[in-house]
Each structure stands twice: as structure tokens, then as C-alpha cells.
Amino acid sequence: MERHQFNITIIGAGVVGLAIAEELSRHYKEILLLEKNESQGQETSSRNSEVIHAGIYYPEGSLKASLCVEGRKLLYEACENRGIPYKRIGKLIVATNPDEEESLQALLGKAQLNGVDDLLFLSGRVVHSLEPDVIASAGLLSPSTGIIDSHSLMRALLVGATDNGVSAVFRSCVTAAHYDGVRHELEINDGESLVASRVVVNCAGLLSDCVAALPGIDVDLEGYRLKLCKGSYFAASPAPRIRHLVYPVPTPKHEGLGVHATLDLGGRVRFGPDVEYVDAVDYRVDEGKRDAFHASIITYLPGLAKESLHPDMSGIRPKLQGPGEEIRDFVISEESRLGLPGWVNLIGIESPGLTACLSIARRVANLIAPAMG
């Protein structure tokens, strides 16, 4: 069987793999991007809120916090320079009682520690003047939160990477991996072909723990086992009149950001995502959730009629923490310590992975520099 040689192989053409492919192609030759589906970004990268997050919520000092803030700036620059559709529409986090107002103050402090220094604390009256249909006793306005056309972003990254010489190969699932002491050997589609590579970057999203196990990593011992956490959305028609993204105050355990109102670039309003741990990937949206969605939404948009809500879409978060557990950070790790030099794992890349894709790519470039010598 023919054995193809590459310097770097990237597993997974979601937004993270694409960003890494483009970034590394600026520095290195002989790069292969492998994707099991027919085209790029058919999984989590096209099933999300398409929000460019400011970086408000994440624990201080975490990769999620720092890569979100850095990635957001890089992403706005890329949108400007490369004609990727986006809008800096801003986001309102709204409190509806004194307890939630206290939580807003705490969020303000957390955001400042993360380097998000443009948040504005607003009275209920000012929130009402910005969003007449929203009720709030106070609010936080994040002017640097925006929305992006994630499909255009992914197309731009793929074109950038392939123009720089990256070979992007679809319908190619990595099914086995072995390290021979010098190179990583990857088997594609159960032995259809073989690839040997000095560096391997695993950004296989929902399957990144399974891919990490292929060369023999004990994913339970390393804390790499993923838990699937579904987020469903309901669309509203007629759509409520909102001009900003509107979020409730997040719950203390921070399981999600709360069922919020998102706007896409076409002006469509969707509510979601909720939080539901699942055993298998199934993107159907349960119509029976309408009541629970409506009950959450009317706490801040009281005029929304239940009948206007209909099931829309869902996405699945690759989470490292289970229900009720402490929030875990992204894993972005070069695995020399496990006897696999040049193998880089990206695991648990849930939100804000879209916002942070360009800063994650820079981090990976730094991590592989020693292996590329």
C-alpha cells in the first residue's frame, strides 16, 4: 500500500482545523488536512449561535478567556480585511431582580479581569430605551460582541490554506494511528491508504477523544473523555423586534449562558441553546421543549407568544465536564510527555471555539515549532 509522507497532518476540517491549516501553511510546506465528511464544517462549526464573544464569562487565566479576547480581535480584523460578513451588533445581558443585578456586577468584575474593558452597566430605563420589548431592572451592554457568517469564514480559511499549498482531502476518516519513534502513521478509511507525518494535530471535535485514543493515549486517565451536551434552538415568527443579542443572567453553575435571543445576519431571531446531556449525536429538536423555552424567554421578553416558537436546529457541545461539574478549560496539548512527540490534541473545544479559532491556531503554531525544528 502506498504510504504518503507529510510534515503535518490536521485531522478535522471544522473551523478550528481550517484555521490551523491556514496558519501553519504560512510557515510550513507539505500539510495535509483530513476530513471524514464530504465538505468542511458540517458538524459543530455550522450548528452554533455564530456569536463573536467578547470574553466576559470565562475563569480568569483560562485559555477560554485569553484565547477568546485575542481571537475576537483577530476575527474582526479578518472579517474587515477579507470581506467576511459580520456585524458588531452588541449584546445585552439583562437582570430582572435584585439578585440578578448583583450577579451582573460580579460579571462586570470578571470581564475586567479577562481584559474586557468596554462593558457598560445600564439602568432598566436605559435598557428599555434600547430594547422597548425587553423588561429588565438593569443590564450590561457589551459593544464588542458581534455575529459572523461562519460558513463564509470557513470558506475563506479553506481557500487561504489551499492557496498556500495545503492538501485538503474529504471523505477521509482517520481510523488508526501508530508512532514508530520518528513519525506518526495514520490509517485512512480502515486501511484504504496510509499517511506518515512528523506532526499530527487532532481537532476532531466531538470525536477528538476517540482520535486521541488511536495512538494509545488513555483518555480516561488524562481526563480527555468527552461528554456530549446538546443545545437546541427555537425560531420565532413573527420575530420579536430586537436589535441586540439579548441574554439572561447565567445560572450560578454556568452550565450554559441561558436561553438567549440570537440574531443572524439576515435578521432572523432564534432562541437557545438549552443544555441537555445526551448519549448519542441526534440533531432533531424536541417540540415538547416549547413550554420550557417560552417560560425562560418571557422572563425578559414578556410579549412573546408561545405559538410563535417553532423547533429550529441544534448543535452538540464537546464538553469535558459532566452535568453539575466545575467548568473545564480547553485542552490544547503537545503530547511528548506521553511518548508521542509532535502529536497535538485539541479536546473540549466548545464555546468560544468559533470566536477563538484564529488565536487557537496561533497557539498550535507555537506548540509545534520545536517538533518542526
The residue ranges that bind ligand FAD (CB under 6 A) are 11-17, 34-37, 41-45, 47-51, 53, 173-174, 203-207, 211, 231, 273, 315-317, 349-355
Rounded to a whole number of angstroms, the minimum distance from the CB of residue 15 to ligand FAD is 5
Q: Which is nearer to ligand FAD, 12 or 240 (CB)?
A: 12
Q: Which is nearer to ligand FAD, 121 or 170 (CB)?
A: 170
Q: Which is nearer to ligand FAD, 51 or 166 (CB)?
A: 51
Rounded to a whole number of angstroms, the minimum distance from the CB of residue 232 to ligand FAD is 8
- Strand extents, DSSP E, the chain: 3-11, 31-34, 51-52, 86-87, 91-95, 120-123, 138-142, 146-148, 167-169, 174-179, 184-188, 193-202, 227-236, 245-248, 260-263, 269-272, 276-278, 309-319, 331-334, 343-347
Q: Say which amino acid occupies 40.
A: Q
7, burial (CB in 10 Å: exposed 0-12, middle 13-18, buried 19+): middle
Rounded to a whole number of angstroms, the minimum distance from the CB of residue 176 to ligand FAD is 10
Q: Distance from first CA to last CA of the chain, Å, rounded?
A: 29
Q: Which is nearer to ligand FAD, 138 or 353 (CB)?
A: 353
Rounded to a whole number of angstroms, the minimum distance from the CB of residue 261 to ligand FAD is 13
Q: Please state whether beta strands 138-142 and 91-95 pair in parallel, antiparallel, or not at all (unpaired).
A: antiparallel
Rounded to a whole number of angstroms, the minimum distance from the CB of residue 237 to ligand FAD is 21
Of 271, 246, 241, the closest CA to residue 95 belongs to 246
Rounded to a whole number of angstroms, the minimum distance from the CB of residue 46 to ligand FAD is 7
Phi-psi region of 243 (alpha: psi -120 to 50; beta: other; left: phi over 0): alpha
Q: Which is nearer to ligand FAD, 126 or 173 (CB)?
A: 173
Return all residues near 80 (Cβ < 8 A) that are at least 6 apart. none
- CB 309, CB 335: distance < 8 Å: no
Rounded to a whole number of angstroms, the minimum distance from the CB of residue 7 to ligand FAD is 18
Rounded to a whole number of angstroms, the minimum distance from the CB of residue 272 to ligand FAD is 7
- DSSP label at residue 289: G
Return all residues near 83 (Cβ < 8 A) that are at least 6 apart. none
- CB 30, CB 9: distance < 8 Å: no
Q: Which is nearer to ligand FAD, 131 or 350 (CB)?
A: 350
Which residue in the block uniquely carries the three cell numbers 407568544? 305
Q: Which is nearer to ligand FAD, 138 or 332 (CB)?
A: 332
Q: Which is nearer to ligand FAD, 38 or 326 (CB)?
A: 38
Torsion of CA 254, 260, 266, 267, to 10 degrees: -150
